[in-house]
Amino acid sequence: MSRQYHVDGELVDRADATVHVEDRGFRYGDAAFETCRAYGGRVFLWERHLDRLRATCETLGMAGAVPDDLRERVDATLEANDLREAYVRVSVTRGVQPGKLTPDGDVDPTVVVYAESLPRGGTAGDPIWDAPADVRSVGTRRIPDDALPVDAKTHNYLNGILARLEVCGSDADESLMCDADGYVAEGATSNLFFVDAGVLKTPERGTILPGITREAVLEAAERVGVPAETGRYAVDDVRDATEVFLTNTTWELRPVGRLDGTAIGGGPVTDRLRAAYDELVDRRCYDG
């Protein structure tokens, strides 16, 4: 059976899963989205993803665009594709509107859900990456909050795409962007952590997408007694760190093997936090 996508309330074959050329998500990137992870058929930290999706829609002036039955659509997509271990992407666009930039207040959103198979997670699982990340710092600056609110996860990924283009042709897996003041912000699709004298550090909110994995890692650090702080840091602080790792929903915690050619890697703090994260996944999704 071909892959089933959920488009505007209907399950359709992948080949028929299309959106209108006048959809504002296509024309302007005028849309919100979430990437979630299903483990054992359950969507991990769904409420947090739903909250962020709703918040993004509110920022975009289309509060209420997220359908009430979104969770059912996600579950139906997983079931129709017989997927228990999966990547799940949910998009809500402002829909088809007349061809002018000013949005129409009357929103009929386009809602798309699709899922792809991933390896099992938790303590008995495997990461989706096969090696630590090779990271390069790039010249592209993270778009500041007063230009595009950083908490919003929109379809417009041109900032990250330009950052990734800078490392195209190299072995790098991720581009590290600084904010407009030159402090480390985040990767094109990941948040950054490093360990300095046993203290876990990560850039503070305000110049980063507040990742759901980042938040779960900060909570895990508190649970297992790893001291943590958020702040503003230079790229050199990260290069001098004993351990560096990246976080996002699909990578979970991914050690950084090299930053700008300097070997770094994981270590005991990263291992402890990875174990705590896997245990959380077990508790939330596999146990019981």
- Name the site residues for ligand PMP (rule: CB under 6 A): 35, 160, 186, 189-191, 209, 211-214, 247-249
Identity of the residue, 137 or 189, whose beta carbon is nearer to ligand PMP in the bound complex = 189
* C-alpha span between 153 and 133 (Å, rounded): 23
Nearest distance from residue 101's CB to ligand PMP, in Å?
A: 24
Phi, psi of 120 (to 5 degrees): -60, 150
Closest residue to bound ligand PMP by CB: 211
Q: What are the start-end ranges of the H helices in 84-227?
A: 158-167, 212-224
Nearest distance from residue 54's CB to ligand PMP, in Å?
A: 14
Identity of the residue, 37 or 258, whose beta carbon is nearer to ligand PMP in the bound complex = 37
Identity of the residue, 56 or 249, whose beta carbon is nearer to ligand PMP in the bound complex = 249
Nearest distance from residue 73's CB to ligand PMP, in Å?
A: 20
Identity of the residue, 27 or 205, whose beta carbon is nearer to ligand PMP in the bound complex = 205
Nearest distance from residue 215's CB to ligand PMP, in Å?
A: 8
Identity of the residue, 96 or 217, whose beta carbon is nearer to ligand PMP in the bound complex = 217
Q: From residue 96, give the alpha-carbon distance in Å to each of 57, 99, 138, 142.
A: 16, 9, 36, 29
What DSSP character marks residue 48?
A: H
In sequence order, the 6+-apart residues with CB closer than 8 A to the CB of 47 are none
Residue 18 burial (CB count, 10 A) = 11
Quickly count helices (H) and strands (E) in the chain.
7, 15
Identity of the residue, 26 or 157, whose beta carbon is nearer to ligand PMP in the bound complex = 157
Nearest distance from residue 132's CB to ligand PMP, in Å?
A: 17
Nearest distance from residue 190's CB to ligand PMP, in Å?
A: 5
